[in-house]
A = this chain, B = another copy of it.
């Protein structure tokens, strides 16, 4: 087990109707004026936004609003939110939505304290040293941003989708009401579950070690998702399925699943290769849902790298799918590992996720664009499990068509 720090200070308020308790929690922590951040579609349609506003009003909390945050949130929204936050002197940022909305809110929370442009943080020209407190109302379980230190923002002008991490942007309180996810379409449900599994796999295949207790927890979460996701898709109002998925999504990304796998104690475990490969797709075409991109790129990455440490993949095969090699020959190991990756990809496909990049309308000639932004983001070589060169990345992208 590697040395690590684990710090997940968020209070998670989980269950039926917790949306109506937002104002009370804001008041208890002494905040006075919130910036509500949201997309605009479903949270308005379903009445969730109205419930949050009513809850704030009842508790005597003032609020201003930033709406129109899109999936793969763009830095322009962040800039707009920073301006609103400054003009109104808010003391809390309160996103209502999924990971995109929460990430936009996080960038606003640290951007308000920066004299320059907020993109400086993503371009590594500035470091997060201060942030407004955040509270989240989660409506799309997927990104785990409600408990994570991470924030990913797109910049369309340079086809970039970059991330930053800081403990300062872990939310104070996150409200998780599984009933809010009853209306989530099957595709979004599936993409969310894929993202959760990817968050665990990025850590599991960190390339820097293992820990029995962390491995048992991590694969226990994946097995839950594999059991519950088909139920939630078949019965969208199945509370148990929705609740298990929602809480799994938080635990998949609050760093619990990486304890003991970190390269250095204060780092996040893993090289995040699948995420890096996917981010270039949704940076190229912002209509691509992150989880759907991962459903294609993660198995492709796994097939490319597993020989680097077959035992780690055998542990995954056993703990997640109960697949063991029939003997110790190289062939049996390859069969077992391949069977596990096949099972994982088949599971994504059964949920309705794509298996090939062509299904997004992408073409092999787009690979040069992916590689250009990958290089700008990650440099010539990246990865923790196995060093991936740009030429390796080309091979992985090609294999995904």
Interface residues of A (CB under 8 A from B): 1-16, 18, 178, 211-214, 216-217, 219-221, 223-224, 227-228, 239-240, 243-244, 247-248, 251, 256, 259-260, 265
Measured in the bound complex, the distance between the Cα atoms of B1 and A247 in whole Å is 10
Asked if residues B1 and A5 are in contact (CB atoms below 8 Å), the reply is no
Measured in the bound complex, the distance between the Cα atoms of B227 and A211 in whole Å is 12
Asked if residues B248 and A213 are in contact (CB atoms below 8 Å), the reply is yes
Asked if residues B220 and A216 are in contact (CB atoms below 8 Å), the reply is yes
Closest to A15 in B: B3
Please give the distance in Å from A92's CB to the nearest CB on chain B: 18
Measured in the bound complex, the distance between the Cα atoms of B1 and A232 in whole Å is 14
Question: For residue A18, which residues in chain B have a CB less than 8 angstroms away from its CB?
Answer: 3
Question: For residue A219, which residues in chain B have a CB less than 8 angstroms away from its CB?
Answer: 220
Please give the distance in Å from A227's CB to the nearest CB on chain B: 6
Question: For residue A217, which residues in chain B have a CB less than 8 angstroms away from its CB?
Answer: 216-217, 220-221, 251
Closest to A242 in B: B1
Measured in the bound complex, the distance between the Cα atoms of B2 and A248 in whole Å is 15
Question: A265 and B213 in contact (CB under 8 A), knowing A1-B240, A247-B260?
Answer: no
Question: For residue A227, which residues in chain B have a CB less than 8 angstroms away from its CB?
Answer: 212
Asked if residues A5 and B12 are in contact (CB atoms below 8 Å), the reply is yes
Measured in the bound complex, the distance between the Cα atoms of B228 and A223 in whole Å is 23
Asked if residues A211 and B244 are in contact (CB atoms below 8 Å), the reply is yes
Asked if residues B244 and A13 are in contact (CB atoms below 8 Å), the reply is no
Measured in the bound complex, the distance between the Cα atoms of B251 and A100 in whole Å is 30
Please give the distance in Å from A214's CB to the nearest CB on chain B: 8
Question: A7 and B14 in contact (CB under 8 A), knowing A213-B220, A217-B217, A244-B1?
Answer: no
Q: Which of B7, B178, B247, B259 contacts A213 (CB 8 A)?
A: B247
Measured in the bound complex, the distance between the Cα atoms of B19 and A92 in whole Å is 36
Q: Which of B6, B13, B240 contacts A12 (CB 8 A)?
A: B6
Question: For residue A2, which residues in chain B have a CB less than 8 angstroms away from its CB?
Answer: 15
Please give the distance in Å from A316's CB to the nearest CB on chain B: 14
Asked if residues A5 and B13 are in contact (CB atoms below 8 Å), the reply is yes
Asked if residues B211 and A243 are in contact (CB atoms below 8 Å), the reply is yes
Given contacts A9-B9, A216-B220, 11 further A-B contacts (CB under 8 A): A2-B15, A3-B14, A5-B12, A6-B12, A7-B10, A7-B11, A8-B8, A212-B244, A216-B217, A216-B224, A217-B251
Question: A265 and B13 in contact (CB under 8 A), knowing A213-B248, A213-B251, A217-B217?
Answer: yes
Asked if residues A15 and B7 are in contact (CB atoms below 8 Å), the reply is no
Question: A5 and B9 in contact (CB under 8 A), knowing A213-B248, A244-B213, A251-B213?
Answer: no
A-B contact pairs, 5 of them (CB 8 A): A1-B240, A1-B244, A7-B12, A9-B9, A213-B224
Measured in the bound complex, the distance between the Cα atoms of B243 and A211 in whole Å is 9
Asked if residues A211 and B247 are in contact (CB atoms below 8 Å), the reply is yes
Closest to A256 in B: B256
Measured in the bound complex, the distance between the Cα atoms of B260 and A239 in whole Å is 12
Question: For residue A228, which residues in chain B have a CB less than 8 angstroms away from its CB?
Answer: 212
Measured in the bound complex, the distance between the Cα atoms of B262 and A13 in whole Å is 12
Measured in the bound complex, the distance between the Cα atoms of B178 and A287 in whole Å is 48
From A3, A12, A214, A227, name the one whose CB has the most chain B CB atoms within 10 angstroms. Answer: A3
Asked if residues B221 and A216 are in contact (CB atoms below 8 Å), the reply is yes
Question: A6 and B14 in contact (CB under 8 A), knowing A212-B244, A220-B216, A221-B217?
Answer: yes
Question: For residue A216, which residues in chain B have a CB less than 8 angstroms away from its CB?
Answer: 217, 220-221, 223-224
Question: For residue A259, which residues in chain B have a CB less than 8 angstroms away from its CB?
Answer: 14, 247
Measured in the bound complex, the distance between the Cα atoms of B251 and A217 in whole Å is 10
Measured in the bound complex, the distance between the Cα atoms of B4 and A243 in whole Å is 11
Closest to A211 in B: B244
Measured in the bound complex, the distance between the Cα atoms of B220 and A171 in whole Å is 28
Question: For residue A211, which residues in chain B have a CB less than 8 angstroms away from its CB?
Answer: 240, 243-244, 247
